[in-house]
Structure 1
Amino acid sequence: MKLSTLKRIPPPWRARAMRLGFNLNPAFRGTGGRVDYVSPDLLHVRIRLPLTRRTRNFVGSLYGGSLFAVTDGVHVAMLLASLRRDVIIWDKAAAIRYRKPAYATLYADFRLGRKDLIEICRELDNNHETSRKFTIELKDKAGILYTVVERLVYIADKAYYKQKMLVQKPGVQT
Protein backbone atom coordinates (compact mmCIF):
# COMPACT_ATOMS: atom_id res chain seq x y z
CA MET A 1 0.00 0.00 0.00
CA LYS A 2 1.35 3.41 -0.98
CA LEU A 3 1.36 6.14 1.64
CA SER A 4 -0.60 8.42 -0.69
CA THR A 5 -3.33 5.78 -0.46
CA LEU A 6 -3.08 5.87 3.34
CA LYS A 7 -3.91 9.59 3.37
CA ARG A 8 -7.15 8.90 1.44
CA ILE A 9 -8.32 6.38 4.04
CA PRO A 10 -10.57 7.75 6.80
CA PRO A 11 -8.48 8.55 9.93
CA PRO A 12 -10.05 5.85 12.15
CA TRP A 13 -8.85 3.17 9.69
CA ARG A 14 -5.31 4.49 8.98
CA ALA A 15 -3.51 2.66 11.78
CA ARG A 16 -5.04 -0.66 10.76
CA ALA A 17 -4.24 0.02 7.08
CA MET A 18 -0.61 0.89 7.89
CA ARG A 19 -0.18 -2.28 9.94
CA LEU A 20 -1.71 -4.39 7.20
CA GLY A 21 0.35 -2.64 4.52
CA PHE A 22 3.61 -3.40 6.31
CA ASN A 23 2.66 -6.99 7.10
CA LEU A 24 1.64 -7.75 3.51
CA ASN A 25 4.64 -6.04 1.89
CA PRO A 26 6.96 -8.76 0.51
CA ALA A 27 10.15 -6.84 1.40
CA PHE A 28 9.06 -6.38 5.00
CA ARG A 29 7.73 -9.93 5.27
CA GLY A 30 11.16 -11.14 4.18
CA THR A 31 12.71 -9.67 7.33
CA GLY A 32 10.63 -12.08 9.42
CA GLY A 33 9.19 -9.16 11.40
CA ARG A 34 5.55 -8.34 11.95
CA VAL A 35 3.92 -5.06 12.90
CA ASP A 36 1.91 -5.79 16.04
CA TYR A 37 0.63 -2.30 16.80
CA VAL A 38 0.20 1.11 15.19
CA SER A 39 -1.23 3.90 17.35
CA PRO A 40 -4.30 5.74 16.02
CA ASP A 41 -2.20 8.92 15.55
CA LEU A 42 0.48 6.86 13.65
CA LEU A 43 3.21 8.12 16.03
CA HIS A 44 3.97 4.75 17.65
CA VAL A 45 4.67 1.48 15.86
CA ARG A 46 5.60 -1.78 17.61
CA ILE A 47 7.32 -4.54 15.66
CA ARG A 48 7.86 -8.13 16.73
CA LEU A 49 10.74 -10.20 15.37
CA PRO A 50 10.19 -13.83 16.36
CA LEU A 51 12.95 -16.41 16.53
CA THR A 52 11.83 -18.89 13.88
CA ARG A 53 13.44 -21.20 11.37
CA ARG A 54 13.36 -18.30 8.86
CA THR A 55 15.01 -15.75 11.19
CA ARG A 56 17.56 -18.04 12.86
CA ASN A 57 21.22 -18.03 11.84
CA PHE A 58 23.52 -21.06 11.80
CA VAL A 59 24.30 -20.78 15.55
CA GLY A 60 20.63 -20.60 16.49
CA SER A 61 20.29 -16.89 17.36
CA LEU A 62 18.37 -14.22 15.48
CA TYR A 63 20.00 -13.43 12.15
CA GLY A 64 21.73 -10.01 12.19
CA GLY A 65 20.29 -9.11 8.80
CA SER A 66 16.76 -9.55 10.14
CA LEU A 67 17.58 -7.45 13.21
CA PHE A 68 18.77 -4.65 10.95
CA ALA A 69 16.20 -4.95 8.16
CA VAL A 70 13.17 -5.02 10.47
CA THR A 71 13.95 -1.38 11.39
CA ASP A 72 14.11 -0.20 7.77
CA GLY A 73 11.50 2.27 6.55
CA VAL A 74 9.36 2.51 9.67
CA HIS A 75 10.30 6.08 10.61
CA VAL A 76 10.06 7.07 6.94
CA ALA A 77 6.50 5.72 6.77
CA MET A 78 5.53 7.35 10.07
CA LEU A 79 6.87 10.73 8.93
CA LEU A 80 5.22 10.52 5.51
CA ALA A 81 1.91 9.67 7.16
CA SER A 82 2.20 12.35 9.87
CA LEU A 83 3.67 15.40 8.13
CA ARG A 84 0.96 17.45 6.49
CA ARG A 85 3.10 18.60 3.57
CA ASP A 86 4.60 17.44 0.29
CA VAL A 87 8.00 16.00 1.26
CA ILE A 88 10.74 13.64 0.15
CA ILE A 89 11.94 11.30 2.91
CA TRP A 90 14.58 8.58 2.75
CA ASP A 91 17.03 6.75 4.97
CA LYS A 92 20.39 8.44 4.58
CA ALA A 93 22.53 6.22 6.81
CA ALA A 94 22.20 3.46 9.38
CA ALA A 95 24.34 1.64 11.92
CA ILE A 96 23.74 -1.37 14.13
CA ARG A 97 25.33 -2.37 17.45
CA TYR A 98 24.81 -5.93 18.60
CA ARG A 99 24.86 -6.14 22.40
CA LYS A 100 24.32 -9.89 22.74
CA PRO A 101 22.96 -12.78 20.68
CA ALA A 102 19.19 -13.08 20.77
CA TYR A 103 17.67 -16.51 21.35
CA ALA A 104 14.13 -15.16 21.84
CA THR A 105 11.52 -13.00 20.14
CA LEU A 106 12.49 -9.33 20.14
CA TYR A 107 10.39 -6.17 19.99
CA ALA A 108 11.11 -2.69 18.63
CA ASP A 109 9.12 0.42 19.48
CA PHE A 110 9.27 3.32 17.03
CA ARG A 111 8.05 6.63 18.39
CA LEU A 112 7.65 10.16 17.07
CA GLY A 113 6.62 13.01 19.32
CA ARG A 114 4.45 15.95 18.39
CA LYS A 115 7.44 18.16 19.29
CA ASP A 116 9.55 16.24 16.75
CA LEU A 117 7.01 16.98 14.03
CA ILE A 118 6.85 20.67 14.97
CA GLU A 119 10.67 20.93 14.94
CA ILE A 120 10.87 19.19 11.56
CA CYS A 121 8.25 21.52 10.08
CA ARG A 122 10.06 24.55 11.49
CA GLU A 123 13.34 23.35 10.01
CA LEU A 124 11.68 22.73 6.63
CA ASP A 125 10.16 26.23 6.73
CA ASN A 126 13.60 27.76 7.38
CA ASN A 127 16.01 25.54 5.41
CA HIS A 128 13.75 23.36 3.20
CA GLU A 129 15.61 20.22 4.31
CA THR A 130 16.74 18.50 7.49
CA SER A 131 18.03 15.21 8.86
CA ARG A 132 16.99 13.40 12.02
CA LYS A 133 18.68 10.55 13.86
CA PHE A 134 16.43 7.91 15.36
CA THR A 135 17.57 5.21 17.78
CA ILE A 136 15.68 1.93 17.88
CA GLU A 137 16.28 -0.64 20.61
CA LEU A 138 15.41 -4.29 20.08
CA LYS A 139 14.47 -5.90 23.40
CA ASP A 140 12.88 -9.09 24.62
CA LYS A 141 9.61 -9.24 26.58
CA ALA A 142 11.49 -8.69 29.85
CA GLY A 143 13.03 -5.48 28.49
CA ILE A 144 16.56 -6.84 28.08
CA LEU A 145 18.42 -4.97 25.33
CA TYR A 146 19.98 -7.03 22.53
CA THR A 147 20.53 -4.64 19.63
CA VAL A 148 20.58 -0.89 18.99
CA VAL A 149 20.00 0.50 15.50
CA GLU A 150 20.57 4.15 14.62
CA ARG A 151 19.01 5.52 11.44
CA LEU A 152 19.61 8.93 9.91
CA VAL A 153 16.55 10.09 7.96
CA TYR A 154 16.65 12.89 5.37
CA ILE A 155 13.54 15.07 4.96
CA ALA A 156 13.07 17.81 2.35
CA ASP A 157 10.29 19.83 0.77
CA LYS A 158 9.54 18.09 -2.52
CA ALA A 159 9.76 21.24 -4.66
CA TYR A 160 13.08 22.23 -3.07
CA TYR A 161 14.49 18.73 -3.50
CA LYS A 162 13.52 18.59 -7.18
CA GLN A 163 15.14 21.99 -7.79
CA LYS A 164 18.26 20.90 -5.90
CA MET A 165 18.55 17.77 -8.05
CA LEU A 166 18.19 19.83 -11.26
CA VAL A 167 21.00 22.15 -10.18
CA GLN A 168 23.28 19.19 -9.36
CA LYS A 169 22.88 17.65 -12.83
CA PRO A 170 25.37 19.22 -15.24
CA GLY A 171 23.94 20.45 -18.54
CA VAL A 172 20.35 20.69 -17.28
CA GLN A 173 18.83 24.15 -17.55
CA THR A 174 16.04 25.36 -15.30
Structure 2
Amino acid sequence: MGMLRKFSTSHSAQKLKRIMNWYGPYLGAGVKIEYLADDWRELRVAMSMKWYNRNAVGTHFGGSLYSMIDPHYMLMLMKILGNDYIVWDKAASINFIKPGTGTVRSTMKITDEMLVKIQQETQHGEKYLPNFEVEIFNQKNELVAQAVKTLYIKRKPPIPGENSV
Protein backbone atom coordinates (compact mmCIF):
# COMPACT_ATOMS: atom_id res chain seq x y z
CA MET A 1 0.00 0.00 0.00
CA GLY A 2 3.03 2.29 0.31
CA MET A 3 3.17 2.66 -3.48
CA LEU A 4 -0.55 3.50 -3.58
CA ARG A 5 -0.10 6.10 -0.83
CA LYS A 6 2.66 7.78 -2.86
CA PHE A 7 0.62 7.76 -6.04
CA SER A 8 -2.59 8.88 -4.34
CA THR A 9 -0.98 12.04 -2.99
CA SER A 10 1.22 12.97 -5.93
CA HIS A 11 -0.68 11.95 -9.07
CA SER A 12 -3.88 12.88 -10.85
CA ALA A 13 -7.14 11.03 -10.34
CA GLN A 14 -6.99 9.54 -13.83
CA LYS A 15 -3.45 8.25 -13.35
CA LEU A 16 -4.36 6.62 -10.03
CA LYS A 17 -7.45 5.09 -11.66
CA ARG A 18 -5.24 3.47 -14.33
CA ILE A 19 -2.75 2.24 -11.73
CA MET A 20 -5.48 0.78 -9.49
CA ASN A 21 -7.07 -1.02 -12.44
CA TRP A 22 -3.73 -2.77 -13.03
CA TYR A 23 -3.08 -3.37 -9.30
CA GLY A 24 -2.60 -7.13 -8.87
CA PRO A 25 -5.25 -7.82 -6.22
CA TYR A 26 -7.85 -5.82 -8.17
CA LEU A 27 -6.91 -7.34 -11.50
CA GLY A 28 -7.06 -10.82 -9.97
CA ALA A 29 -10.46 -10.22 -8.38
CA GLY A 30 -12.00 -8.65 -11.48
CA VAL A 31 -12.38 -5.25 -9.77
CA LYS A 32 -12.36 -2.13 -11.93
CA ILE A 33 -12.59 1.53 -11.04
CA GLU A 34 -15.07 2.87 -13.58
CA TYR A 35 -15.01 6.52 -12.54
CA LEU A 36 -12.87 8.76 -10.33
CA ALA A 37 -13.72 12.45 -10.31
CA ASP A 38 -10.86 14.85 -10.97
CA ASP A 39 -11.53 16.46 -7.56
CA TRP A 40 -11.40 12.99 -5.89
CA ARG A 41 -14.88 13.43 -4.38
CA GLU A 42 -16.61 10.58 -6.19
CA LEU A 43 -15.51 7.09 -7.15
CA ARG A 44 -17.47 4.27 -8.78
CA VAL A 45 -16.10 0.74 -8.70
CA ALA A 46 -17.42 -2.47 -10.26
CA MET A 47 -16.65 -6.16 -10.13
CA SER A 48 -17.83 -8.54 -12.81
CA MET A 49 -18.47 -12.20 -12.16
CA LYS A 50 -15.63 -14.39 -13.43
CA TRP A 51 -14.86 -18.07 -13.04
CA TYR A 52 -11.96 -17.13 -10.75
CA ASN A 53 -13.88 -14.91 -8.34
CA ARG A 54 -16.80 -17.22 -7.57
CA ASN A 55 -17.17 -19.07 -4.30
CA ALA A 56 -18.35 -22.67 -3.80
CA VAL A 57 -22.01 -21.74 -4.39
CA GLY A 58 -21.37 -19.69 -7.54
CA THR A 59 -21.63 -16.17 -6.13
CA HIS A 60 -19.04 -13.46 -5.48
CA PHE A 61 -16.61 -14.19 -2.66
CA GLY A 62 -17.42 -12.03 0.34
CA GLY A 63 -13.78 -11.01 0.58
CA SER A 64 -13.84 -9.83 -3.02
CA LEU A 65 -16.97 -7.76 -2.33
CA TYR A 66 -15.15 -6.11 0.55
CA SER A 67 -11.89 -5.65 -1.36
CA MET A 68 -13.63 -3.73 -4.14
CA ILE A 69 -14.52 -0.97 -1.65
CA ASP A 70 -11.56 -1.23 0.70
CA PRO A 71 -9.00 1.54 0.22
CA HIS A 72 -11.06 4.18 -1.54
CA TYR A 73 -12.30 6.48 1.22
CA MET A 74 -8.80 6.53 2.70
CA LEU A 75 -7.14 7.33 -0.64
CA MET A 76 -9.74 9.95 -1.58
CA LEU A 77 -9.39 11.75 1.76
CA MET A 78 -5.59 11.57 1.66
CA LYS A 79 -5.69 13.47 -1.63
CA ILE A 80 -8.43 15.94 -0.65
CA LEU A 81 -7.06 16.77 2.81
CA GLY A 82 -3.42 16.84 1.72
CA ASN A 83 -0.23 16.44 3.71
CA ASP A 84 -1.57 18.29 6.77
CA TYR A 85 -3.55 15.19 7.79
CA ILE A 86 -2.89 11.58 8.75
CA VAL A 87 -5.54 9.30 7.22
CA TRP A 88 -5.69 5.56 7.87
CA ASP A 89 -8.23 2.78 7.56
CA LYS A 90 -9.02 1.80 11.15
CA ALA A 91 -11.84 -0.77 11.01
CA ALA A 92 -14.53 -2.20 8.80
CA SER A 93 -17.54 -4.44 8.86
CA ILE A 94 -19.67 -5.82 6.08
CA ASN A 95 -23.18 -7.21 6.11
CA PHE A 96 -24.10 -9.51 3.23
CA ILE A 97 -27.73 -8.92 2.27
CA LYS A 98 -28.18 -11.24 -0.70
CA PRO A 99 -25.90 -13.32 -2.94
CA GLY A 100 -23.85 -11.22 -5.35
CA THR A 101 -23.94 -12.36 -8.94
CA GLY A 102 -23.20 -10.70 -12.26
CA THR A 103 -21.57 -7.29 -12.13
CA VAL A 104 -21.80 -5.49 -8.80
CA ARG A 105 -21.14 -1.78 -8.27
CA SER A 106 -20.57 0.73 -5.53
CA THR A 107 -20.30 4.52 -5.51
CA MET A 108 -18.40 6.42 -2.81
CA LYS A 109 -18.71 10.17 -2.33
CA ILE A 110 -17.05 12.82 -0.18
CA THR A 111 -19.39 15.75 0.48
CA ASP A 112 -18.70 19.29 1.64
CA GLU A 113 -20.49 18.41 4.89
CA MET A 114 -18.11 15.49 5.50
CA LEU A 115 -15.08 17.73 4.95
CA VAL A 116 -16.41 20.46 7.27
CA LYS A 117 -17.05 17.84 9.99
CA ILE A 118 -13.53 16.42 9.59
CA GLN A 119 -11.99 19.89 9.86
CA GLN A 120 -14.10 20.74 12.91
CA GLU A 121 -13.30 17.49 14.71
CA THR A 122 -9.55 17.67 14.05
CA GLN A 123 -8.86 21.41 14.30
CA HIS A 124 -7.02 21.14 17.64
CA GLY A 125 -5.11 17.97 16.78
CA GLU A 126 -7.72 15.49 17.99
CA LYS A 127 -8.14 12.18 16.25
CA TYR A 128 -11.46 11.67 14.52
CA LEU A 129 -12.95 8.26 13.71
CA PRO A 130 -15.75 8.83 11.19
CA ASN A 131 -17.81 6.00 9.76
CA PHE A 132 -18.51 5.85 6.05
CA GLU A 133 -21.38 3.67 4.88
CA VAL A 134 -20.88 1.89 1.58
CA GLU A 135 -23.51 -0.04 -0.36
CA ILE A 136 -22.92 -2.60 -3.10
CA PHE A 137 -25.65 -3.20 -5.70
CA ASN A 138 -26.20 -5.81 -8.39
CA GLN A 139 -27.22 -5.18 -12.00
CA LYS A 140 -30.89 -4.99 -10.99
CA ASN A 141 -29.97 -2.24 -8.50
CA GLU A 142 -30.72 -4.61 -5.61
CA LEU A 143 -28.69 -4.24 -2.43
CA VAL A 144 -26.12 -7.03 -2.15
CA ALA A 145 -24.03 -5.82 0.80
CA GLN A 146 -23.63 -2.91 3.20
CA ALA A 147 -20.29 -2.04 4.72
CA VAL A 148 -19.11 0.45 7.30
CA LYS A 149 -15.58 1.80 6.98
CA THR A 150 -14.08 3.56 10.00
CA LEU A 151 -11.18 5.87 9.27
CA TYR A 152 -8.62 7.41 11.60
CA ILE A 153 -8.11 11.06 10.71
CA LYS A 154 -5.87 13.48 12.57
CA ARG A 155 -4.48 16.87 11.70
CA LYS A 156 -0.70 16.86 11.92
CA PRO A 157 0.83 19.29 14.41
CA PRO A 158 2.34 22.39 12.81
CA ILE A 159 6.09 22.31 12.23
CA PRO A 160 7.79 24.84 14.53
CA GLY A 161 8.84 27.93 12.60
CA GLU A 162 6.60 27.17 9.65
CA ASN A 163 4.21 29.94 8.57
CA SER A 164 5.94 32.43 10.80
CA VAL A 165 6.17 36.04 9.64
Please classify the TM superposition score into its range, dividing by the shorter chain length: 0.7 to 0.9
The match for 1:22 among 20, 23, 30 is 20
**Distance in 1 separating the partners of 2:89 and 2:61:** 22
- Number of the residue aligned with 1:145: 143
Match of 1:83, SS state, is: helix
- Number of the residue aligned with 2:70: 72
Offset at residue 114 of structure 1 (A): 1.5
Q: Does 1:82 align with 2:85?
A: no
Offset at residue 127 of structure 1 (A): 4.2
Offset at residue 28 of structure 1 (A): 3.2
Match of 2:53, SS state, is: coil
Offset at residue 154 of structure 1 (A): 0.7
**Distance in 2 separating the partners of 1:132 and 1:103:** 30
**Distance in 2 separating the partners of 1:149 and 1:34:** 18
**Distance in 2 separating the partners of 1:119 and 1:7:** 21
After TM superposition, the score normalised by the length of structure 1 is 0.81
**Distance in 2 separating the partners of 1:154 and 1:41:** 21
Q: 1:1-174 to 2 correspondence within 5 Å?
A: 2-9=4-11, 14-159=12-157
**Distance in 2 separating the partners of 1:8 and 1:146:** 34
Q: Which runs of 5+ in 1 are unaligned?
A: 161-174
Identity of paired residues, percent?
Answer: 26
Q: Which runs of 5+ in 2 are unaligned?
A: 159-165
